[in-house]
Amino acid sequence: MALILEQLKKSYPAPDGSVVSVLDVERFEIADGEQVALLGGSGTGKTTLLHAIAGIVTPDSGHVAFQPGNVDVTALSEAARDVFRGKHIGYIFQTHHLLPGFTALENVLLGMSFTGRSPDRAWAKRLLVEVGLGNRLDYRPAKLSVGQQQRVAVARALANRPQLVLADEPTGALDPTTAQQVLDLIRQLCREVNASLILVTHDMSIAQQLSRVVRLDELNKRRQEIGDSRQE
Amino acid sequence: MNLFELILKQIRQRALSTVLTVFSITLGVALAISILVLQREGKNLFGQTEFGYEVIAGVKGSGLQLVTNTIYRIDRSPGNVPYSVYERMTTDPVFKPDVRFAIPQCVGDSYQGLPIVGTTPQYFGYNPDGTRAADGKRFEYRPGQSFEIVAPGKVLTENRFEAVVGCDVPKLGKLKLGNQFQATHGFPIPGMTPDVHDEKWTVVGVLAPTHTAADRCVYIGLTSFYTIFEHGEAEVQREQQRQAVGALPPATAPVEAHEVHDHDHEHEERHYDLTPDGTIVLHDEVLRAREVSAILIKTRGDGGGLNTLRLISNLNMINDVMGVNPATVMREFFANFLDAPIMLLLAIAVLVTVIAALGIMTTIYNSVSARMREIAILRALGATRVRILILISTEAALVGLLGGVIGFFIGHGLAGIGSVYMKQTFGQTIGWYRVADVELLFVAGVVVLSFIAGLVPALKAYRTPVSANLVAA
C-alpha cells in the first residue's frame, strides 16, 4: 500500500498558553512494499507523525492518503479511522504494549478482534512460530523476556496481514543482538505479507538497513508558535 | 477473540474484586427474592381463602388466635365453649338451615410435643360407624380435598381409645400403626415434669400427607378426650360453679394455661366406664359439662354468601361465643400486620441491591482508571469508542447477571430453609421453589441497573485519550 502525506500539521497547546507545533510535513511518500526508516532523536515528533498516519490523532490540517483507493484518513470519522487502522495498519510500539492478562497467542488474536473478520487462529500460531515463540504460545507477557515480548508485539502487528506497518523505535529497549533479531523479523514478515514499513529509530545502524532513510528533522519542519491557545 | 471472551478475560484478571462485587449483588438479590417468595407463599398459606369450611366457632375473643390455633395449630387455644353450642348447630332451627357440617374439636394435650386433637370420624370424611362418607357428603379440609387414611389403617371410633395420626407423626413422635401412647397434659416446657395421663390410646390409622398442620397432629375420639381426668374433673367443677351462681355458659381459661402439676392419681375418680368391648361410657356429670375448643362449620348454599353471614351473626349472639370466617381473619391479619413490615424489608433489599450496583460502578470505575493504557492499546488495535463503551458496560451487566442468578437461587434456598422451619413449627410447607414473574423481573432489573452503573466507568473509558495513554506508558 502506498502512502502520501501532504501539508500535514499538528500542534498542541502548552500549559503556559502558547501553541507548540509538533508536526509540519510538507510531503512524504512511501511506495507499495517499500521499507523506510525515519531517523530522529527524541522530540522530533516521530510518535505524533506515526499516530497521525494511523489516525490515532487528528492533524490540524493536511492529508494522509492511502493508495490504491485514495483513502484520506483525515477525512474519515473517528470510528471509520479505528476500523481502517485495525484492518490495514499494523503498529509496533517502542514498549511492547501487550495486555498482561492475555497469553502470547491471545495477544496476537486480540489484534484480529476488531476487524469484523473471524480471527485466524492458525495464522496467529504461525506468526508466533515464525518469531520463534512456537513453544511459548500460552505464556503471559510477564513470563517472557523483553525481547520475546517485542516479538509477540511484532506478530500481533502482522496479525491482520496489514498493508502498512508502523514501527515506533521497536528495538529501542533491546540489546543489540536482540534488536537485530527483531528488526530482521519485522522486515521479513513485512515482505512476506507485502506490507510497506515505516520504522522510526534514532539508531543509524538500524536505519541504514532499510531501503530508504529519511531524516525526521528534515522532513518535519515544525516551529514553535507563540500565541494564546485559548484563542485558537 | 469475541467480545464475550474479552469480557471474561477482563473479569478473570480481577477475580477477587469481581467475586466481592458479585457477592454484594448476590446478597441483595437473595434477600429480595427470599422476601418475595416468603411474602407470596406466606400469603398463599395464611391468606388462603379456600378452606373446606367457612366458619370457625369458638370462645369470644381473638379471632386470629382461634383461627391460628384451629387451622395452623400454633398459638394457644383461646378457651372453650359448652358442648351444647356444637349440638345446637345441627339441632337448633336457628342454626340448622345454615349448617351442612359441624365438626367439634378439643385441644389442650400433647404427645411428644405434638398437639392432640379430640374430634369425630366426620372430620376425616367418615360416617360415625366408620364407613367412608359418600362423595359430596364428605367433610373437606380444603375444597375437593378430604383426609385419606393410608391402608391398612382405619378411622378412629369416637367412643373408643383409638387414634389417627398425621403422616409426620410416625417420624416425629415415633408413633406407628398399632402403637399405644399416653397423652401429656398441656405442652410442658423443657425441664418441667410432664403430667402424663393414665389412659392409653392405640393408633388405628395414619393420614396421607396433606401438607397442612394435620400432618403433625394426633387425633383421638372426642368422647375419649373427655375421659382424661383433668378434662372431665375441671369441666364438672366449672359446671357446678356455674349452676351455683346461676351464670350463663362462660368462656373458660385456655387449656394450655392449666398449670402442669403432679396429681395424686390414686385419689382420682374416673368419670367414665368401659364396656367389655372397650366402648367408653361417660358419666352424666361429664356429659353435662363437656366443652369444645372449636367447631368447624361447613355452611349450606354457595359457601360464601348469606348462610355464612347469617351463621356468624347468629353465633355472635350467643353469650361468649363467636363465629369467624378464617379467610377473612387471615386476610385482615396480613393486611394489617404483615404487609407493611414486608414492604419495609423489600425496600431494604432493593436498597442493598442498589448499593451493590453502585459497588459495581466503583469497582469497574477503579479498574478502568487502572486500565487506561490497556484501553488505549485496544483502541490502537482498532477498537472503536463505542466498542469500548459496550465492553465495559457489558462487563458490569455480566457481573450483575452473575450476582442476580446466584442470588435468585440462594433466595429460593433461603425460602426453602424457611419452609423447613415452618414445617417443623406448624406442619405446613410453602412452595419455595415456585418462580413468579416478579422475581425474574427483579433479576432483569438488577442486570439493567448494573449495565447503567457500568455506563459511568464506560464513559470514562470511552473518553480515554489514546495517544496520550500510549505515550505515557
| DSSP codes, A29-49 | EE-TT-EEEEE--TTSSHHHH
pLDDT at A120 over 50: yes
As a whole-number percent, the residues of chain A with pLDDT over 90 amount to 39
Cβ of B9 within 8 Å of Cβ of A106? The answer is: yes
Cβ of A119 within 8 Å of Cβ of B387? The answer is: no
Geometric angle at alpha carbon A84, from A81 and A89, rounded to 5°: 115
Geometric angle at alpha carbon B146, from B145 and B149, rounded to 5°: 130
Split at pLDDT 50, 70, 90, the class of A197 is very high
Query: What pLDDT does residue B286 have?
Result: 85
Counted across chains A and B, CB pairs separated by less than 8 A come out at 71
Residues of B contacting chain A (CB within 8 angstroms) = 1-2, 6, 9-10, 12-13, 373-374, 377-387, 466-467, 470-471, 473
Tell me whether A97 touches chain B (CB under 8 Å): yes
Of A51, A109, A114, the CB nearest to B382: A114
Query: What pLDDT does residue B253 have?
Result: 42
Place of cell 434477600: B31
Residues of A in contact with B463 (CB under 8 A): none
Q: How far is B406 from chain A (nearest CA, A)?
A: 26
Rounded distance, CA B40 to CA B36, Å?
A: 6
Residues of A in contact with B13 (CB under 8 A): 100-101
pLDDT at A232 over 50: no
Task: Note the pLDDT tens digit of each residue in A25-75.
Answer: 899 999 988 999 999 887 778 888 999 999 998 899 999 998 877 788 888
Q: How far is A121 from chain B (nearest CA, A)?
A: 9
Q: How far is B461 from chain A (nearest CA, A)?
A: 15
Query: What pLDDT does residue B186 have?
Result: 80
Query: What pLDDT does residue B48 have?
Result: 64
Residues of A in contact with B466 (CB under 8 A): 56
Give me the tens of pLDDT residue by residue for chain B, a chain 473 residues long. Answer: 677 888 888 888 788 888 988 898 898 899 889 988 888 887 777 666 678 888 999 999 888 899 988 888 887 888 899 999 999 998 999 988 889 889 999 998 999 889 999 999 999 999 988 899 988 888 998 888 899 999 899 999 989 999 999 999 998 888 899 999 999 888 777 777 778 888 899 999 999 998 888 998 999 999 999 988 566 566 666 666 666 665 545 444 444 433 334 444 444 567 888 888 889 998 888 888 899 999 999 988 765 578 888 999 999 998 889 999 988 888 888 788 777 888 888 888 888 888 888 888 888 888 788 888 888 888 888 888 998 899 889 988 998 999 999 999 999 999 999 888 877 776 677 888 989 898 999 999 999 989 998 888 888 888 888 877 876 54
For an interface test with B, the pick among A48, A82, A98 (most B C-beta atoms closer than 10 Å) comes out as A82
Query: What pLDDT does residue A214 have?
Result: 92
Residue-by-residue DSSP string for A54-75: HTSS--SEEEEEEETTTEEGGG
Query: What pLDDT does residue A71 have?
Result: 85
Cβ of B380 within 8 Å of Cβ of A101? The answer is: no
State how far the alpha carbon of A87 is from the alpha carbons of A112, A114, A158, A162, A165, in Å: 8, 8, 10, 7, 11
Residues of A in contact with B381 (CB under 8 A): 86, 91, 110-111, 113-114, 156
What is the mean predicted confidence (pLDDT) over A135-153? Answer: 91
Give me Rg for the CA atoms of chain B: 31
Q: What SS3 class is residue B464?
A: coil
> Which of A122, A188, A204 lies closest to A159 in space, CA to CA?
A122
Residues of A in contact with B467 (CB under 8 A): 48, 51, 56-57
For B163-215, give the secondary structure using H, E and C: EEECCCHHHHCCCCCCCEEEEEECCCCCCCCCCEEEEEEEEEEEECCCCCHHH
Q: How far is B467 from chain A (nearest CA, A)?
A: 6
Q: How far is B382 from chain A (nearest CA, A)?
A: 4
Tell me whether A136 touches chain B (CB under 8 Å): no
Query: What pLDDT does residue B225 have?
Result: 92
Tell me whether A178 touches chain B (CB under 8 Å): no
Of B12, B380, B387, the CB nearest to A91: B380
Cβ of A93 within 8 Å of Cβ of B467? The answer is: no
Query: What pLDDT does residue A207 have?
Result: 92
pLDDT at A216 over 90: no
Contact B202, B154 (CB under 8 A): no
Cβ of B382 within 8 Å of Cβ of A86? The answer is: yes
Give the residue from chain B lying closest to A107, CA to CA: B1
**pLDDT top residue among A107 and B360:** A107
